[in-house]
Amino acid sequence: MSDNKKLRSKFIRESQVTMIELVLPNDTNIMNNLLGGRLMHWMDIAAAMAASRHCNTVAVTAVVDDLSFHEPIKLGNIVTLNASVNRAFNTSMEVGVRVEVEDFETGEKKHSNSAYFTFVSIESKTGRKMTVPEIVPETDEEKKWYNDALLRRNQRLQKKHGIVQH
């Protein structure tokens, strides 16, 4: 499960990804709103790029947490997806993705969606799990992301093992 090589720690900023998409007619439903599945696809791509940048291997999606749709994203809007590895564990990483939508006619920007993805580092030839480098948070905001990621991981593990807290 481990690649047994010395992995250098990385800063969060080293793997961050910003991806920009324009909502086109083929991306929308009959109400000219962005399809939820298309947004999830874009978010998964941004998160995968950040995870792969962090571990320098193929990274595959294992879990998606807390994806909520706060308001519709309209045809013609500019969608900016910001992805950051919040914390690295042994072979997995939590990646946070924040989505902002911009009305290009008014320049107004709004936070639209956020979600947390868990990715696993995989060796592409064998498919075995690979150890990921530690991540080093630098700013107060990054330290909050880092600490909160451990709380979410513990909740996921409790849920997986049938431990429910009320």
Between 94 and 72, residue with greater pLDDT:
94
Query: Which residues have a Cβ under 8 Å from the Cβ of 111 and sit 6 or more positions away?
Result: 70, 98, 99, 100
Is pLDDT above 80 for 37? yes
- Tell me the average pLDDT across 96-103: 96
pLDDT of amino acid 165: 57
Between 164 and 130, residue with greater pLDDT:
130
pTM of the model: 0.90
- Which stretch of 45-49, 113-117, 153-157 has the lowest confidence by average pLDDT? 153-157
Instruction: Write down all domains in the chain, each with its CATH number in brackets.
Output: 10-160 (3.10.129.10)
- Tell me the average pLDDT across 3-26: 88
Is pLDDT above 50 for 48? yes
Categorize the per-residue pLDDT at 52 as very low, low, confident or very high, splitting at 50, 70 and 90.
very high
- Tell me the average pLDDT across 25-51: 97
C-alpha distances out from residue 122 to 58, 111, 128, 140, 151, Å: 5, 32, 6, 31, 24
